[in-house]
Structure 1
Amino acid sequence: MAHFFNIGDMVEVMFPQVGFVGSFFVATILLVLQDGRLYVQFHHLLSANGIFFLRSVVAATNIRPIPPFIGTSEYELDDIVDVFVNDGWWVGRVVDVLRSDGYYEIRFEMYDEVSFNEFFDMRPHLEWEDGRWVSVLE
């Protein structure tokens, strides 16, 4: 099922290049081009001069809607989560819960890296499949 995007829609963009796989960056659609690609402005990525927010033409296949909010009060060991780090949302797994200081240890398995993140920088991971959001737990 195709999803059609409109000017002004807030979306998440993925880059299939090495080093960016498993991450999504928030952007707003500025133009829908005749060939189906979209011209977007990123919310957190800066242009090469470091002054303006990056704008780029991206394929519609590399764009998804913003995931719905899913309220949760905590995460458990082995939960798959998205973590906002390095200006985008990256998929990781909870490997330690540090309840005393409110941080979680997250492993980004694709890159064999670990980071410590606050609850408020995390969300449950969802996949965009066939025009709908699917929990990795389904």
Structure 2
Amino acid sequence: MIERFVRRLLRARLLAVTVTGPSMEPSLRDGDRVLVMRRHPRRLVRGHVVVLGPDGDRRVPGTGPRGLLIKRIAAAPGDPVPPPLAARLGCPPGSTVPPGRLLVLGDNPPLSLDSRHFGYVAQERVVGVAVRSLRCLPAGG
């Protein structure tokens, strides 16, 4: 009984996802498993690695069967829009990220579809924050 309760509690708070593709290399590699803490969007800050749910019916190529993306927050609400993104988004210099929105980037820019391509992301799309890579160590080390 207690074991079942603990399992339910963990499933309500944690999620394990598999990284698909090279967009987050070298931090996360294709096939890595990542432990994600489901988190309320108000606690998101620049630098967090987040898992994003699908944007309605629109799917980003290479997102896997559940349509999830894993990216790093480049700017949270109220943060200045990074200059390279500001130019791409057509924002005037000194612009800040609007409330309820995020800018996200992959760690491997040439191979990442991110805010440089699709602009702001609604905070409510955040499924959770990555807390640990579950990458297996090579045999013998």
TM-score normalised over the length of structure 1: 0.40
Question: Normalised by the size of structure 2, how large is the TM-score?
Answer: 0.40
The answer to which structure has the higher helix fraction is 2
